[in-house]
Amino acid sequence: MTLDFALILFIATVVCGLLALFDRIVLAPKRVKAIAQYESQVSQSREEDLAALKKVPVLVEYGKSFFPVLAVVFVLRSFLFEPFQIPSESMVPTLKVGDFIVVNKFSYGIRLPIIDQKIIPTDELKRGDVVVFKYPVDPSLHYIKRVVGLPGDVVTYTRDKRLVINDQLIDERFLKYETGSFENIALYEETLGDHKHTIRKLLSSNIREAQVFKVPDGEYLMMGDNRDNSLDSRAWGFVPDKNIVGKASVIWMTWPTPKFTNLPSFSRAGAIE
């Protein structure tokens, strides 16, 4: 079972908020009243007595302390930005295993947390955007791919691994063979919309037959930049708009195996093309 961090954060924020509210409405007035009553009954108050009367229950104190932090994190994570770590090679060479990225969650619309209902549209997904979304087969998992097909598009992935969108062959320029690949793997610069990015292809074999996809309304065709090592829409279908989490904006550090003997690197920090 995959833990839903957003739901856990929401519950923790609500619980801490209720504890803080309970203290403000119920417990704090009782403390003030008890202190006033104590001071009216004695000629000289003692510090230890006042401290005991002012003491807040431990659980309530923790709730009051954590609530502002949790509330800020919840708002930032739910409506603005969310961090992710890249777990696989499906987006190589654009994104590598261990890259930590920031996802802009308001790029395509403001959504209510937990239920993911879009309430304020902002912008549309564009061909070539790198997007984080909930895996349609198992929405508890997050995937990251590049938008290749928009609603209404007819996308063909040819036998020689070229993209044709609405009868237009997508521009592709050979860059180089991957180091150490013995000319079996090549890198190309592909142009999708306003995006120029590098893709990776295995040259030792072509696919058996062309794949043709008609993208339904309200859905998207997603593909990894590592075209021969990506489980994407070619295998499991289209991504509904309701599954979109946000636009992958920047890489902020790389840390493939987080541990003290292997420190993070910031050499790849920058915008995601």
pLDDT band for 208, please (50, 70, 90 cuts): confident
**CA–CA distances in Å: residue 229 to residues 92, 124, 261:** 9, 28, 30
- pLDDT mean over 171-194: 92
- Name the nearest CA neighbour of 9 among 100, 57, 71, 88: 71
The CATH code of the domain at 86-271 is 2.10.109.10
Task: Give per-residue pLDDT as tens, 94-153.
Answer: 999 999 999 999 899 888 887 778 888 888 999 999 999 999 999 989 999 999 999 999
- What is the largest distance, in Å, between two alpha-carbon atoms of the chain? 95
Spans of all domains in the chain: 5-79, 86-271
Three-state SS across 79-134?
Answer: HHEEEEECCCCCCCCCCCCCEEEEEECCCCCEECCCCCCEEECCCCCCCCCEEEEE
Per-residue pLDDT at 229:
94
- pLDDT mean over 245-253: 94
pLDDT band for 234, please (50, 70, 90 cuts): very high
Task: Specify the pTM.
Answer: 0.83
Please determine, for residue 259, whether its predicted confidence score (pLDDT) is greater than 80.
no
b (16+ CB within 10 A) / e for 5-31? eeeebbebbeebbebbeebeeeeeeee
Average pLDDT over the chain, rounded to an integer: 91
Query: What SS3 state is found at 139?
Result: coil
pLDDT band for 1, please (50, 70, 90 cuts): very low
Cα–Cα distance, 143 to 10 (Å, whole number)? 22
Q: Are strands 142-149 and 219-223 parallel, antiparallel or unpaired?
A: antiparallel
Q: Which residues are catalytic?
A: 90, 145
Please determine, for residue 3, whether its predicted confidence score (pLDDT) is greater than 80.
no
Sequence-distant (6+) residues with CB within 8 A of 271 are 249, 250
Query: What SS3 state is found at 151?
Result: coil
- pLDDT mean over 186-196: 95
Contact (CB, 8 A) for 248 and 256: no
Query: What SS3 state is found at 33?
Result: helix
Q: What is the Cα Rg of the chain in Å?
A: 26
Structure tokens at 146: 């590049």
Please determine, for residue 48, whether its predicted confidence score (pLDDT) is greater than 90.
no
Sequence-distant (6+) residues with CB within 8 A of 102 are 81, 82, 83, 248, 249, 250, 252
**CA–CA distances in Å: residue 75 to residues 10, 69, 113, 231, 252:** 10, 10, 9, 32, 21
Q: ∠ CA 105-108-110 to the nearest 5 degrees? A: 60
Cα–Cα distance, 124 to 104 (Å, whole number)? 13
Q: State whether the Cα torsion 42-48-54-57 is positive or negative.
A: negative
